[in-house]
Amino acid sequence: MEVVLDAVGRRLKRIRQQRKCTLAALSVTTGISVSTLSRLECGQRKPSLELLLPIAHSHQMPLDELVGAPPVGDPRVRLKPVERKDSTMVPLTQQPGGLQAFKMIIGITRSEPSTSLRPDFRQRISVMSQKSPRADAGPAARRRLNAPW
């Protein structure tokens, strides 16, 4: 826990700067003085819930994301999906590096199903490389979209 608290100041400053927000502007939206915000970012003041909650609210982000809290490993905690164009990728594993599993939801790009596929046809594509997905396709796979993966 102490490691997380030590890094909070630098993280607060980085998030504020990424959002192109000044200390003065953040002070107005949080009600926290510029001096206190500056001391928080420099590590001269310990972060408290009383200070962090208004900052998280101002940045419109969850408190655990604001402070960079480590993942809790609770299966009830939802992992953040990544949306790109017509697809959504949901991470199913939390550990960085190594093998990871993803659920990939690909948007419909055709209004009519292919006539070359039988209704019970299901295709699984497995490519074993770092950035390649595995996907189910075909009418049978469509029925499984609501099933747990």
Whether residue 105 has pLDDT greater than 90: no
- Confidence band, pLDDT 50/70/90 cuts, at residue 146: very low
Fold of 2-67: 434 Repressor (Amino-terminal Domain) (1.10.260)
Q: How far apart are CA 64 and CA 124, in angstroms?
A: 36
Contact (CB, 8 A) for 69 and 2: no
User: Model confidence over 28-87: pLDDT tens digits?
Assistant: 999 999 999 999 999 899 888 899 999 999 999 988 888 887 666 655 556 678 787 778
Q: What pLDDT, in 10s, does the model give residues 38-54? A: 999 998 998 888 999 99
pLDDT at 25 over 90: yes
Alpha-carbon distance of 15 to 2, in angstroms, equals 20
Mean pLDDT score across all residues of the chain: 75
Rounded Cα–Cα distance for residues 88 and 107 (Å): 8
The boundaries of every CATH 1.10.260.40 domain in the chain are: 2-67
